[in-house]
């Protein structure tokens, strides 16, 4: 039996909890565009949006509005993240990986500072502040890979039937040519659990089973173990079955593919998590049919 894991699971795990917010139209473009403002969610902690293009959760930076006094002049200030076509006249900034920065151990975004004296004035770049690392105290971008790693770790620790599928063959030892051989695996069904790291969310995983027999036959679903129902008179009762026309060592293989959905507060369900694929195989012997004469 073997398991092939197709999920990308590199990256360190970030240990903190977060409240989540999102921009439902964030996919309208890392490079700008007319997007509606992101909705806010209540609660403490870090607020995030999710960018499906970069498969990354981005912390929402502090407010882009402010005021600063220089040489006795009170300036209205707007901090614009240096991503794509962001400009001071947009209601909010699009975020991107390229704009993240670090200063004195704190994470932030590269910004250009704009100023004006009154709301009637146009925004103008603040000379000498065209590229400033504006940091905040909590949160940093979380690659979806880190979340995938946490999901995989939980499955491997608590859901052995998922990560190590087993095959039951019937008859186990006395398969005979031209008679059905049955196969089945545990019907785990959909699996759901919560995660806390690197951010809180609900994970739901749904399996699909694909079978391959060494005679070229296939099948789908978890199958059904032999329960006394005659497979000759009611073959459809056992959806995963094969008939061999010659004797010898044979094999049946199983590929279980789990589609994973992540749901976090305020963000539409995330379905671009790499599916998890696990494999198993079982060998058996098919015997020739014979007649025994008894005196």
Residue 179 CB contacts under 8 Å (≥ 6 apart), including other chains: 232, 243, 289
170-195 b/e (C-beta count within 10 Å ≥ 16 → b): beeeebbeeebbbbbbeebeebeeeb
**37-46, 133-142, 194-203, range with the lowest pLDDT:** 37-46
DSSP 153: H
Asked if residue 66 lies in contact with residue 114, where contact means CB atoms within 8 angstroms, the answer is no
pLDDT digits (tens, 9 = 90+) for 94-141: 888 788 888 887 778 899 999 999 999 999 999 999 999 988 766 678
pLDDT digits (tens, 9 = 90+) for 152-197: 999 999 999 999 999 999 998 889 999 999 999 999 989 999 999 9
Residue 48: CA count within 13 A, CB half-sphere:
29
Q: Partners of 284 in the beta sheet?
A: 250
Distance between CA atoms of residues 46 and 241, nearest Å: 53
Q: What is the mean pLDDT of residues 282-295?
A: 72
Helices (H) and strands (E) counted in the chain, each on its own, are 2, 19
Asked if residue 281 lies in contact with residue 167, where contact means CB atoms within 8 angstroms, the answer is yes
For the chain, domains (ranges, CATH) are: 26-138 (no CATH), 144-287 (2.60.40.10)
26 pLDDT band, cuts 50/70/90, is: very low
Please give the sequence-ordered ranges of beta strands (E in DSSP) within 168-200, or none if there are none. 168-170, 175-176, 180-184, 191-195
Asked if residue 75 lies in contact with residue 115, where contact means CB atoms within 8 angstroms, the answer is yes
């Amino acid at each position: 039996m073997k398991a092939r894991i197709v999920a990308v699971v590199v990256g360190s795990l970030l240990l903190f909890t977060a409240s989540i917010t999102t921009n439902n139209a964030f996919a309208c473009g890392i490079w700008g565009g007319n997007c509606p403002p992101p909705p806010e969610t209540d609660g403490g902690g870090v607020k995030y949006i999710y960018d499906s293009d970069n498969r990354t959760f981005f912390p929402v930076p502090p407010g882009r509005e402010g005021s600063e006094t220089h040489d006795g002049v009170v300036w209205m200030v707007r901090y614009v993240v240096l991503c794509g076509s962001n400009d001071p006249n947009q209601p909010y900034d699009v975020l991107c990986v390229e704009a993240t920065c670090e200063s004195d151990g704190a994470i932030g975004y590269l910004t250009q500072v704009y100023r004006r004296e009154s709301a009637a004035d146009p925004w103008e770049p603040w000379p000498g502040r065209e590229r400033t690392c504006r940091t905040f105290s909590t949160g940093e971008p979380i690659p979806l890979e880190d979340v995938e790693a946490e999901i995989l770790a939980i499955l491997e620790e608590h859901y052995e039937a998922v990560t190590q599928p087993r095959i039951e063959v019937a008859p186990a030892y006395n398969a005979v040519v031209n008679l059905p051989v049955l196969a089945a695996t545990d019907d785990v069904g959909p699996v759901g659990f919560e995660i806390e790291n690197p951010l809180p969310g609900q994970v739901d995983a749904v399996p699909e089973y694909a079978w391959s027999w060494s005679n070229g036959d296939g099948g789908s679903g978890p199958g059904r173990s032999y329960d006394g129902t005659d497979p000759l008179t009611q073959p459809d009762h056992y959806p995963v079955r094969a008939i061999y026309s010659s004797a010898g060592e044979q094999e049946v293989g199983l590929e279980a593919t789990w589609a994973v959905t992540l749901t976090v507060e305020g963000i539409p369900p995330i379905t671009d998590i790499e599916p998890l694929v696990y494999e198993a195989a079982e060998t058996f012997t098919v015997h020739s049919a014979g007649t025994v004469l008894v005196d």
